[in-house]
Structure 1
Amino acid sequence: MPLQRLNWALATQRSVEIWVRRDDLIDTHLSGNKFYKLYYNLRAAKAAGYKQLLSFGGAYSNHIYALAAAAKAYGFQAVGVIRGERPKYLSPTLQDAEAWGMKLHFVSRTDYRERSSPELRQKLTDIYGDFFEIPEGGANAYGVQGTKALGVAIHRQVKSDYTSVCLASGTANTLAGVAAGLQRAGDLAQKVIGFSVLKDAGDRGFQSLGAQVINYQKAINESTSNWCLINGFHGGGYGKKLPTNMRQFMTGFECETELQLDPVYTAKMCWGVAQLLAKDYWQSGSRLVLIHTGGLQGRRGFDL
């Protein structure tokens, strides 16, 4: 995927060079980090002889959207277990998923919190038959194996000529994989910075996210220290309406840079980068690589 030099006055004022890895351009529907997270999951499902995929997500889930598109493209049936009761009118995301052949199974928010329970899995098996289960967001060992390839790809583009790689972080699966891929490629000193998009990532929850990075890396026999998580730029929480100051920032950023963002992930990462630039977090002469993780279809849920 191309690296795009970002024409951003704030970075120029700080003499910081910023490039954006445009993984949102991978595919119209299967874009960004979802492509990498699903790649090895689909390979594993096919190798094991599964014909049906099942996963979890919300009404505007980028993961559900990408999974439905991938299932149609590669000949799988798919089931999406959706958080909340079925609404009178489906979101555009779920309309697309259903049009591509995904079966939508709605569960209460209480039941959704128990989505890893054997009872729910048995119920789903009774209804739909055998399936290859992919966790919410594609966050498993196959997912981190795929995002590790993203880290290797970035190294091939920029070698070690960068200060930080920045990305939005939800489950921390992509952070774990990119960090592992860059370190495997030989980038030992530079940091991969994950900007958490979760409101409840503070205190113990934030420590838990860090532990997840370590666990994901262990799942692919990797161990790195070239990463960090930063909290405080969640904008009110995952999938929430952006506060006025962040919405204004997003609008201004898009106008200035001509780079479209999604409000759940990349807008928060760029907002975080802006705040750190203003505080001279990076020295003059630094070179940053921001990963655009896609998800632009989710703008429809924010009237964008």
Structure 2
Amino acid sequence: MSLLHVWQRLYRQASRSPLQPLDHPLLERHRISLSIKRDDLLHPHISGNKWRKLKYILRQALTEQAPGLLSFGGAYSNHLHALAAAGKQLGLPTVGLVRGEPHSVANPTLSDARRWGMTLEFVERAEYRRRQDPDWLAALADRHPGYRLIPEGGSEPLALPGVAELWRELPAADELILPLASGGTLAGLLSARPPGVRLTGYAVLKGHGWLAATVQQLYPPAARDDGWRLQLDHHGGGYAKCPGDDRERITRLASALAVPLEPVYSGKAMLGLFRDIEAGMYPAGSRLIFLHTGGLQGARGGL
């Protein structure tokens, strides 16, 4: 079986996720209809927005017969975890440049990645900040000739069409809510946004001043689109940071909604959404859909 046939089989396996209606006293009190798109169930290891962003990048790498895949991420990166799993299934070697020190190599995320064959290279934080520097990337390409370089989080123009396919699976709604980190998922959704549906991204990291610019860089027409907004005040102190009382609220919310949530992405965004509903930001009668972008594996490391 060719590698492209393996990709096609993987595409079929991860083609659709369920939509789950949610019940909660706050929703009833404010007369809000809320459902959650369970993209965390797309695939056991390549779940959520990671698969949607990677699917056509992987196909291009196979079509061009790239000898391997290389990307970047932190020690608990869902993206590197998904990429390692995809590389294992597709028979492609993978390299992960990890921000930070090698002592984190034993955490569950990187242990999985190594078990699936990913070669890990640890990069000091100062050097890691050069990951968009053309000269630094050129030197990296020289060390790994022919490898398909994938940006952090998989957020690049080729990721957008895979994300945009999500709209085919959604019913009519007034607003689609999602966690926001590298901006690729929001940009992909904007590229095919149906008229009358607003998009709201809840930033899970400190994104004042640059997150909107990142989305617009990935999808330039977003600069002229008034159908989206960012909520920047629910990041809990920064990426992968979550105060203890917020952790408890996320745990209680996950139990009440009967949906698994973690404190890095979907948990933060769902908690922010409920706070904003309570504050009256969403009008009575609103039909909302929340996109669960996966990432549950990262919670195993105590995040």
Say yes or no: TM over 0.5: yes
* Pairing 1:302–2:302 present: yes
* Pairing 1:231–2:232 present: yes
In 1: Cα distance, 2:134 partner to 2:190 partner: 33
* Pairing 1:144–2:160 present: yes
* Pairing 1:77–2:93 present: yes
Give ranges in structure 1 of 5+ residues lacking alignment: none
Find the partner of 2:190 among 145, 158, 179.
179
What is the match of residue 219 of structure 2?
A: 217
* Pairing 1:257–2:273 present: no
Kept in 2: contact 1:68–1:78 (CA 8 A)? yes
CA shift for structure 1 position 214: 2.1
* Pairing 1:286–2:297 present: no
Kept in 1: contact 2:152–2:182 (CA 8 A)? no
In 2: Cα distance, 1:44 partner to 1:16 partner: 42
Map 1:64-213 → 2, pairs under 5 A:
64-87=80-103, 89-150=105-166, 152-154=167-169, 157-158=170-171, 161-182=172-193, 187-199=194-206, 201-202=207-208, 205=209, 208-213=210-215
Q: 1:223 to 1:2 in 2, by over 3 A?
A: farther
Q: 1:227 to 1:89 in 2, by over 3 A?
A: closer
What is the match of residue 247 of structure 1?
A: 247
1:138-183 deviations in whole A, cap 9, x for unaligned? 0100112221112x224xx31xx3121000001221111112222x
Letter in 2 for 1:192: L
In 1: Cα distance, 2:223 partner to 2:49 partner: 19
Q: 1:96 to 1:283 in 2, by over 3 A?
A: same
Secondary structure of the corresponding residue to residue 198 of structure 1: coil
In 1: Cα distance, 2:92 partner to 2:143 partner: 17
Kept in 2: contact 1:180–1:224 (CA 8 A)? no
Aligned length: 287
Kept in 2: contact 1:195–1:230 (CA 8 A)? yes
Map 1:262-273 → 2, pairs under 5 A:
262-273=262-273
1:18-51 deviations in whole A, cap 9, x for unaligned? 1000000000100000001101111111222202
Find the partner of 1:47 among 56, 63, 66.
63
CA shift for structure 1 position 258: 1.3
CA shift for structure 1 position 302: 2.2
Secondary structure of the corresponding residue to residue 219 of structure 2: helix
CA shift for structure 1 position 120: 3.4
Kept in 2: contact 1:37–1:146 (CA 8 A)? yes
CA shift for structure 1 position 227: 1.1
Map 1:24-63 → 2, pairs under 5 A:
24-63=40-79
Kept in 2: contact 1:33–1:293 (CA 8 A)? yes
Find the partner of 1:16 among 23, 32, 47.
32
In 2: Cα distance, 1:88 partner to 1:39 partner: 28
Secondary structure of the corresponding residue to residue 202 of structure 2: strand
What is the match of residue 275 of structure 1?
A: 275
Secondary structure of the corresponding residue to residue 87 of structure 1: helix
- Scaled by the length of structure 1, the TM-score of the pair is 0.89
Kept in 2: contact 1:180–1:223 (CA 8 A)? no
What is the match of residue 10 of structure 2?
A: none
In 2: Cα distance, 1:70 partner to 1:88 partner: 22
CA shift for structure 1 position 194: 0.4
1:43-75 deviations in whole A, cap 9, x for unaligned? 111222202000000110000000000111112
Q: 1:190 to 1:128 in 2, by over 3 A?
A: closer
Q: 1:188 to 1:125 in 2, by over 3 A?
A: closer
Kept in 1: contact 2:253–2:271 (CA 8 A)? no
1:86-141 deviations in whole A, cap 9, x for unaligned? 11752110000000001001111111111233453344344433211000000100
Kept in 2: contact 1:80–1:105 (CA 8 A)? yes
User: Percent sequence identity over matched residues?
Assistant: 39
Letter in 2 for 1:153: R
- Scaled by the length of structure 2, the TM-score of the pair is 0.89
Q: 1:145 to 1:302 in 2, by over 3 A?
A: same
Kept in 2: contact 1:217–1:223 (CA 8 A)? no
